Structure formats: structure tokens, C-alpha cells
Amino acid sequence: MKRSSVPLIYGIYIAIALIGYFLLLSLLDLHQNPAYSVFNMVITGGGIFLAIKKYRDKKLGKFKYQKGFMAGLTAGFVATVIFTAFFAVYTSELNPSFSEELITMWETDWFVNIGMLVFTVALMGFATSLVVTLAIMQLYKPSWNTSEGKKHTY
């Protein structure tokens, strides 16, 4: 596997895990409760962590923060696009009543169509990918706690 294909492959793995988790929740009739979507962050975070780790291991020489960040962000964005496409098909074709069931959980006077629901899922996925990648990359940031770094402190 080439280093450049690592984010793509791990993005597909993350998407498969997210889709599997969503389908498991739907089998248990828990997919209308948005509280369970918090676990999506755990799935995405685990996949992004593994993608960055694999990317770093494939890198010969010095690992650059920017390259690792882009690998994690790409994996998360690929997973978000695939999961959002699945969610759009699921909500419009496989279970058209799902969007109404989900929206009626909140008492609101707003009209929320399927496009807005899919856009919200995509936005949440992109935001999760960005935040989780930023958090995980802190593990790979070079430390300033070296003898050379201590010379430059007060």
C-alpha cells in the first residue's frame, strides 16, 4: 500500500464502521436518538488515529506535522462523504419516514427537509474530523522539552 493511499483506505474503513454502527442502531430501533451519535466521534477518532499512525510508519525519514494532519483530515473527510451519501440514500429511499421520526423528537416550528438533515450530518462529520485530527496530532507534535529547547526559556 502506497503512503498516499493510506488516508483513502482508512477513510473507507471508518465509513464502513460508521455505517455498520448506524445499521446496528437501526436494528435495535435506537437510531432516532441523536445521543447515540456521540459514539461516531469515537469511531472516527480511532480510525483517524490508526490512519495517522500507519502514515507515519510508512514515512521514511522525518515525519512532518502538516503531512500527518492532512492524512488524518483526508481520512475523516473521505469517511464523512461516504457516510453522508449512505445517510442520504437511507433517509430518502430505504426509510423515508426516518427523517420525520428524527425531527419530531424536538418540538419546533421549523420546516426541516431532507437536504437540511443531510447537510447537518455532513457538517457534523467534517467538524468532528477536523477537531479529532487536531487533537490526535498533538501526540505526534515534536516536543520542545529537549536540552536545546530549555536553553530558550526563562
pLDDT in tens, 25-77: 889 888 777 778 889 899 999 999 999 998 888 766 677 888 889 999 999 99
**Number of separate domains in the chain:** 1
C-alpha cell at 112: 426541516
Is the residue at 151 inside a domain? Answer: no
Predicted pLDDT of residue 129: 94
Predicted pLDDT of residue 100: 67
Is the residue at 147 inside a domain? Answer: no
Is the residue at 150 inside a domain? Answer: no
pLDDT confidence bin for 14, thresholds 50/70/90: very high
pLDDT confidence bin for 148, thresholds 50/70/90: low
Quote the mean pLDDT of the chain: 83
Which of 77-81, 85-89, 105-109 is least confident? 105-109
Is the residue at 109 inside a domain? Answer: yes
Is the residue at 58 inside a domain? Answer: yes
Predicted pLDDT of residue 44: 94
Is the residue at 101 inside a domain? Answer: yes
Q: Is 152 exposed, middle or buried (0-12, 13-18, 19+ CB in 10 A)?
A: exposed
Predicted pLDDT of residue 110: 62
Its domain, for residue 105, covers 3-138
Is the residue at 130 inside a domain? Answer: yes
Is the residue at 149 inside a domain? Answer: no
